[in-house]
Structure 1
């Protein structure tokens, strides 16, 4: 059975060390670290906070499943609506794209420090004035520079696809991996995103064999073509037995991380109920 981890992005009302303590108390073996506010927004994540993270990992015994660098809300003093992924790796503005590249390198440094096997990122959106074909060029150039930094350090970079982003489905992320031809580039596979896009999850996992750097789990109401709202497993329509069976068939031996940021008011309930549901299946 795949080991389970829990993302700190559910515990945004708690400090990072507090989040780790609660995730360990809930019974998880692993943790994903949110590389963003309020936990580890890297330009402001100082040496004292890094030492506190080291101590919390030692005390809890948690493995780090992934460093989640998908978002950069901390970039803004007053974040505009839906700015979660900006600046992105496909942003048209050179200065903003440079910021995101350097931020991702900082996330790789953090991953190396905490023995995380991977960092996840998204492609971002092709916004107004930045057509998809140009945005893809920016994305590929950004990723080559990031991988030049990550690969010598033994850190994989997983693209997390999501509907409405530049890279929004399995076929597109596999095309990108093929185009890039880089050993360190893979997929941070969010099964809910695949379901919302309308994919068959067992088929998605089979197609992704050999490329998965990490897995995100959440339930979705409506399953295929459902609404993109992360729910506790058991509260939606996804077939987790089929998901885990498919992961077993391809020999995936990394962590599957619960990503339930939609429960900031009751993170302990989300963590405990998710673990109970998935271990009782």
Structure 2
């Protein structure tokens, strides 16, 4: 039986708001289903979608949530714990910014914030199991990223200690995910300590090659770093268990390049675009993933500095559907099989 990708799915985080139909599970999943999506990736911690505490303790509750989705023609693809994973490791330079994403009780207290985030990550593992999901998507957080450019020169051992600390924080969480049979597919993303293949390998080594340490493949972040995003699949395909379908473009000029000069998104050399409006070669990506038998979801993550989000969402489902490849179960030239036996084969080659 051929291995086939699932989709199209849509990540709901960028669409949630306090206005209908984006303010409740029933209405936003109906909206997604009517656009042609078959799955929804749901951010854990947004109470407008589901209660994480209940989901971690009650399969009945999770069945009810899944039932609402099913009534609207979609299923849950993965739980997203991006913001929770981010809080597992926050460099002090980012304390003030990230404190806006956590409960009042832990603001201004980095240790309490980390403990809270770790507890929420554990809940998400149990909730994923109760939803019947095998994969979640997340961030690693960052301790070393402010030192990404080596000026002033980084002290010897700083990066190694950062990854050792990441491992100390993440290994117990990964162990809980293993107990629940759920991957953490980390989105490899600038701003995190794991932002390319080299840093993923460093993290994977630090957690001793943990079985549940996987990748959420998002080519947009690789294009903006000018990486070979197709070769990345060749190298790491065995660790890819989730896929964000997101486009981007990179247009350097005499004023700016990869770092984009502190400019707003509209004026950056590197910027995210709606599907089909950027430079990512999705035909090649979908072919690569099909070649390696990727069976997970293809999930639209919409981020664009120009196009209206509802237009991007409307165009996204058919775009993904068009690019998905149903793998063949027979070779195209099977019709020409002569069916000769071993003796005939040896005779053809002149072997006595």
TM-score class, shorter: 0.7 to 0.9
Name which of structure 1's ranges 95-104 and 51-60 shifts more when overlaid on structure 2. 51-60
Gaps of 5+ in 2: 88-94, 104-108, 148-157, 253-257, 259-267, 324-352
Tell me which residue corresponds to 1:203.
231
Return the alpha-carbon distance in structure 2 between the equivalents of residues 81 and 243 of structure 1: 35
TM-score (norm 2): 0.67
Q: Residues of 2 paired with 1:222 and 1:215: CA distance?
A: 21
Given candidates 78, 83, 94, the residue that maps to 1:66 is: 78
TM-score by length of 1: 0.82
Hey, what's the Cα distance between the residues in 2 that align with 1:172 and 1:148? 21
Q: Distance in 2 between matches of 1:229 and 1:21?
A: 30
Distance verdict in 2 for CA 1:216–1:43, change over 3 Å = same
* 1:111-132 per-position Cα deviation (integer Å, ceiling 9, x unaligned): 1122222112212122779x54
Structure 1 gap segments, 5+ residues each: none
1:120 paired residue number: 137
Aligned CA-pair RMSD: 3.4
Distance 2:13 2:163 in 1: 28
Tell me the alpha carbon deviations over residues 182-236 of structure 1, each in whole angstroms, 9 at most, x when there is no partner: 1111111121112212211110111111111201111102289585644221111
Q: Quote how far apart the aligned CAs of 1:81 are.
A: 4.0
Q: Structure 1's 271 and 54: CA in aligned 2 closer, same or farther, altered over 3 A?
A: same
Is the 2:36–2:318 contact (alpha carbons within 8 Å) kept by the matching residues of 1?
no
Distance change (3 Å), C-alpha of 1:278 and 1:148: closer
Residue 150 of structure 1 and its aligned partner are, at CA, apart by 1.0
Whose Rg is larger?
A: 2
User: 1:274, CA displacement in angstroms?
Assistant: 1.3
Query: Is 1:103 matched up with 2:120?
Result: yes
Pick from 249, 271, 287: which aligns with 1:245?
287
Residue 269 of structure 1 corresponds to which residue in structure 2? 311
1:217 matched to which residue of 2?
Answer: 245
User: Which of the numbers 162, 171, 179 marks the counterpart of 1:135?
Assistant: 162
* 1:11 is aligned to 2:15: yes
